């Protein structure tokens, strides 16, 4: 990826927060939105970072697809669970609210799970389980979308020719003592579609193993790729496992929350009256001390990570990483040196600054 500029992380964070506020979001929703986007940008997850400010969130707001005045609400709850409504709001803020609810319930009950319907794109899935680390909890987050009639761009089911899923990620975070926190954030497709778009923006090819053209042919052209393979690829390479994980996410997020519901008879996008409105999410928080002392768990995590670091390396390689480690080191570097930006992102941010009467020195 070719970067053409660099902006201090704090400067970009403050700019993003103010843009959200000027666009009409409440201070709390704006702060949460900025936190999520800059967390991704700091960690090198550029597919889900500040580049999406205009590309996804402001565009969806202008199209009337995001409610800037959303009020998140609990529709049903127990001491260990809740089903909540995102009110069509900013997914970044809705997800932060729901994850806090899960953690607050877990503080009282040992563990808790929250499923949310009627939300939208919530950015980097890993941010929400990482929120639990400061409370010495295990965090979990999933987000997904399912289309009963299929879509032009998305993830294929095994043996299918039309995409039925979004890239339905799974994210989990475990606290550690001295090692970097273990943070898994993975799409259930070989690659997230945002990466295809990022490559397209920058004139880069994609790997033909990621997906297919609209006609079902492998391609290295980011402009042509539309049908993404589930994790593994085709059946012979274990794609049925990625397909199964994608449906697991869709079930925990959309079916459990009621995001995939009936009553849509006559809607051509529905299947037997069922369709999903917006995106749906799932969040979990588990207190470690519900099972064992926190410090002994953290020492065990450190020891497992250190054993992997010490394991024999493949020929020509000198290091074994664990989930979140590369991103943690990138975060340290970018927090110190600034966030690198591509030409497309610079152009978008300048356009946003002009629109909202702001200044951003790049």
pLDDT < 50 positions in the chain: none
Tell me the per-residue pLDDT of 92-145, one tens digit each, with 9 for 90 and over: 999 999 999 999 999 999 999 999 999 999 999 999 999 999 999 999 999 999
Whole-angstrom Cα distance, residue 247 to residue 249? 5
The reported pLDDT for the residue numbered 351 is 97
- Local structure of 173: helix, strand or coil: strand
- In the block, residue with structure tokens 């506020």: 21
Instruction: Report CA 132 to chain centroid distance, whole Å.
Output: 16
Tell me the per-residue pLDDT of 327-344, one tens digit each, with 9 for 90 and over: 999 999 999 999 999 999
The reported pLDDT for the residue numbered 1 is 78
What domains lie within the chain, and their CATH numbers?
Answer: 5-302+325-355 (3.30.1370.60)
Helix (H) or strand (E) holding 285: strand 279-287
Rounded to 5 degrees, φ, ψ at 149 are -105, 5
Q: What is the CA radius of gyration of the chain?
A: 20
Q: What is the DSSP letter of 186?
A: E
Instruction: Report CA 332 to chain centroid distance, whole Å.
Output: 21
Residue 112: partners with Cβ closer than 8 Å, 6 or more residues away: 79, 80, 81, 82, 101, 102, 103, 104, 105, 106, 284, 285
Classify each residue of 121-133 as buried b or exposed e, where b means 16 or more C-beta atoms within 10 Å of its C-beta.
bbbbbbbbbbbbb
Closest by alpha carbon to 112, among 142, 141, 135, 82? 82
Q: What angle do CA 73, 76, 80 make, to 5 degrees?
A: 105
Q: How many residues make up the chain in this entry?
A: 362
Q: Do 158 and 239 touch, CB atoms closer than 8 A?
A: yes
Rounded to 5 degrees, φ, ψ at 331 are -60, -45
Closest by alpha carbon to 137, among 92, 170, 107, 95? 107
| Strand pairing report for 260-261 and 339-341 | unpaired
Closest by alpha carbon to 85, among 321, 258, 344, 267? 258
């Amino acid at each position: 990826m070719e970067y053409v500029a660099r902006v201090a992380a704090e400067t970009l964070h403050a700019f993003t927060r103010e843009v959200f506020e000027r666009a009409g979001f409440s201070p709390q929703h704006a702060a949460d939105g900025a936190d999520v986007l800059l967390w991704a940008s700091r960690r090198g997850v550029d597919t889900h970072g500040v580049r999406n400010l205009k590309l996804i969130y402001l565009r969806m707001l202008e199209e009337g697809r995001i409610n800037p005045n959303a009020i998140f609400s609990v529709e049903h709850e127990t001491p260990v669970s809740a089903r909540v409504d995102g009110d069509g709001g900013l997914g970044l803020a809705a997800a932060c609210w729901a994850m806090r609810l899960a953690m607050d319930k877990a503080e009282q009950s040992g563990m808790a799970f929250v499923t949310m319907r009627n939300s939208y794109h919530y950015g980097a899935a890993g941010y929400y389980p990482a929120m639990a680390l400061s409370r010495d909890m295990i965090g979990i987050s999933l987000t997904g979308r399912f289309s009963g009639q299929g879509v032009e761009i998305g993830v294929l089911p095994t043996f299918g020719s039309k995409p039925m899923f979004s890239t339905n990620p799974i994210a989990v975070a475990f606290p550690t003592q001295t090692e970097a926190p273990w943070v898994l954030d993975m799409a259930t497709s070989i690659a997230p579609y945002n990466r295809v778009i990022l490559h397209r923006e920058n004139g880069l090819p994609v790997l033909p193993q990621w997906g297919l053209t609209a006609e079902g042919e492998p391609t290295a052209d980011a402009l042509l790729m539309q049908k993404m393979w589930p994790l593994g690829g085709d059946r012979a390479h274990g794609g049925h496992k990625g397909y199964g994980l994608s449906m697991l996410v869709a079930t925990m997020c959309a079916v459990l929350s009621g995001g995939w519901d009936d009553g849509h008879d006559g809607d051509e996008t529905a299947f037997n009256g069922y369709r999903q409105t917006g995106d749906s999410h799932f969040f979990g928080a588990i207190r470690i001390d519900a099972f064992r002392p926190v410090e002994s768990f953290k020492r065990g995590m450190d020891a497992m990570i250190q054993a992997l670091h010490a394991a024999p390396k493949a020929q020509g390689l000198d290091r074994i990483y664990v989930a979140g480690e590369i991103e943690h080191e990138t975060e340290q570097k970018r927090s110190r040196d600034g966030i690198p930006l591509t030409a497309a992102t610079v152009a978008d941010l300048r356009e946003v600054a002009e629109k909202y009467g702001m200044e951003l020195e790049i």
